Each structure stands twice: as structure tokens, then as C-alpha cells.
């Protein structure tokens, strides 16, 4: 076993990609608003390395505004098919404009147009309003590359704590906790 939680995550994530039936990159993202009220939702992991775990969103969405008010967040991966989960806690930073541009360019055309058409997390009077805005964006950008909207970017959760949990019979689970220590990690075990 390695004592590097990022390498352990890599191995578990690779295994989940081969066995998890839907969205192995799905992760719960927990944020807290300026009044200390928590909120959680599912987002998709779009990249990770030793710097952290990246997802993209409308920065004016509820999660974007909460991260602006409190730059700490938690992630949770639960891979039922391999009976494992990974919990990550840390500060959040914006990805570079180049990273956001590169990922945005890799999205499908309809996803790009949807990013322009959606006022994510804001009230919507009826579905037809959004569909009409989507069609307006289709006409606006017809025949040309769709640029990344100024309100759309990515965030990186820079881990301070990573817990790797493995299911065991009779609820005698294994929990390995890694805490950032300088440039490395210290490891301990937790009771199930």
C-alpha cells in the first residue's frame, strides 16, 4: 500500500470506472453559505492531480456564491459497486482562465450553449423560458465557436484531509485518514 492518498484515489477511481454503472466521477459537493447554512449537491469530477480535485460550474450559481462567501468545501465519492468511498475536505480556489477555457472547449456544443442560456440556481417561471433562451443562444453562436461565458469557470478543492473508507463485513469497516502535513501527508486509522 502507498502512503500517498492521491495515488490511492487514482487506483480506486480507475477501479470504479470499470465497475460503477453510472457516473463514477459523480461526487457530492458540500458548501456553506455566509450564515453557516450547509448545502450539498452532486457535481462531476473533471480533473484531479496532486494540486486537487476540479469541477466546473456557473460561478453565480448557489454553489459559486457560497464558495465566494466561504472557500472551504467537502467532497464525497461513493462507489457502491466496489464498496468504497472517499471523503475530501479543503480550501477551494479558482482554476486558471486557461484551464477553464480548455475544458469549456471540450464540452458538447449543446452544453456550451446551455451554459450561456442558464441562470443556474435562479427561479425559472416555466421550462419554455429556458428552452427559448437556449434557442436564442443557438442562433447567436450559429456557425462559430462558442466562447466560455464570463460567469462560468472551475474550482479546485485543495485537499487538507482525505479519508478512504472500505466496506467490511459486520460493519467492521476500514478507515484510513490522511492529513496534509507540510509538503506531504500523515496517515492514521479511524474506528469504523
142-150 long-range contacts, CB within 8 A, separation 24+:
145/105, 146/109, 146/112, 146/113, 146/116, 148/100, 148/101, 148/104, 148/105, 148/115, 149/58, 149/115, 149/116
| 170: its cell numbers | 459486520
Marked catalytic residue, from 37, 126, 127, 171: 171
Q: Is 37 a catalytic residue?
A: no
Pairing of strands 152-166, 184-190: unpaired
Residue among 68, 56, 63 at smallest CA distance from 31: 63
Residues acting as catalytic residues? 171
Amino acid at each position: 500500500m502507498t502512503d500517498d492518498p492521491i495515488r490511492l484515489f487514482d487506483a480506486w477511481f480507475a477501479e470504479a470506472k470499470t465497475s460503477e454503472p453510472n457516473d463514477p466521477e459523480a461526487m457530492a459537493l458540500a458548501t456553506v453559505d455566509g450564515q453557516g447554512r450547509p448545502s450539498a449537491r452532486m457535481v462531476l469530477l473533471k480533473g484531479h492531480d496532486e494540486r486537487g480535485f476540479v469541477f466546473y460550474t456557473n460561478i453565480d450559481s448557489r454553489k459559486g456564491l457560497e464558495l465566494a462567501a466561504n472557500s472551504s468545501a467537502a467532497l464525497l465519492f461513493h462507489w457502491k459497486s466496489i464498496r468504497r468511498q472517499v471523503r475530501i475536505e479543503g480550501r477551494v480556489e479558482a482554476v486558471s482562465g486557461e484551464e477553464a477555457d480548455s475544458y469549456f472547449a471540450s464540452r458538447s456544443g449543446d452544453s456550451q450553449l446551455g451554459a450561456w442560456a442558464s441562470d443556474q440556481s435562479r427561479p425559472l417561471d416555466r421550462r419554455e423560458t429556458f428552452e427559448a433562451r437556449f434557442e436564442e443562444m443557438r442562433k447567436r453562436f450559429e456557425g462559430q465557436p462558442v466562447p466560455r461565458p464570463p460567469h462560468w469557470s472551475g474550482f479546485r478543492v485543495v485537499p487538507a484531509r482525505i479519508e478512504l473508507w472500505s466496506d467490511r463485513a459486520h460493519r467492521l469497516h476500514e478507515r484510513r485518514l490522511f492529513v496534509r502535513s507540510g509538503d506531504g501527508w500523515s496517515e492514521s486509522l479511524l474506528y469504523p
